[in-house]
Amino acid sequence: MIEINALGDVCPIPVIKAKNALKEMTVGQELIIAVDNLIATQNLEKLTKELKCGYEVEKITDDSFRVKMSKNSEAIDETYNNADYNTVVVIASDKMGEGNDELGHVLIKGFIYALTELDNAPNTVIFYNDGARLTVEGSDSLDDLRKLEQKGTLIMTCGTCLNYYGISDKLAIGEVSNMYSIVEKLSAASKIIKP
């Protein structure tokens, strides 16, 4: 049995910790993961359904749960194998979704972190409009973008956008791109993801 403490971890960290542990486990082995919110238990349940794993949850207190997962087959190891796809991620804002800006910033940071944990990293991540701010000095996402780049992901930022916001000299990761190159990447993509 493997035990993981994910208390205090924000989404998507508990799911990523569980997925990584399940990949290393043998069939029949169990994983216990401690989380501190109901949403984390629901996210872990979705993961187990996707991977066809066993799942049980025990409520310890109002904000403490013990999730038990069991690896039922080797199918987990092939679930994320999509290396044949040319995946391009396009990010047009320094926040994700509409509504509260602070929450939006937390969500986009979590999204970029989740990209680093994919078994097959995207081929390209394109930043444009306000998303260009995520590739410049001071961005909270630079460490995660560096991890993506180390995995072979091409990081492209719209040059017109950098110029418009007056941050061209602050680019800290990847390369400056133009609209023609962006259109080429998008037209060659097997899959496009836009948060």
Residue 145 CB partners (closer than 8 Å, separation 6+): 112, 125, 134, 135, 139, 155, 173, 174
60 phi and psi angles, rounded to 5 deg: -85, -50
pTM of the predicted model as reported, rounded to 2 decimal places: 0.73
Do 27 and 107 share a domain, yes or no? no
Helices (H) and strands (E) in the chain, counts: 7, 9
Do 116 and 169 share a domain, yes or no? yes
Please choose, from the candidates 53, 61, 75, the residue with its C-alpha nearest in 3D space to the C-alpha of residue 2. Answer: 53
User: What's the domain range around 135?
Assistant: 87-193
How many domains, the chain?
2
Do 99 and 144 share a domain, yes or no? yes
pLDDT digits (tens, 9 = 90+) for 59-98: 999 889 999 999 887 555 444 444 557 899 999 999 999 9
Do 53 and 95 share a domain, yes or no? no
Do 105 and 36 share a domain, yes or no? no
pLDDT digits (tens, 9 = 90+) for 108-162: 999 999 999 988 899 999 999 999 999 999 999 999 999 999 999 999 999 999 9
Do 106 and 50 share a domain, yes or no? no
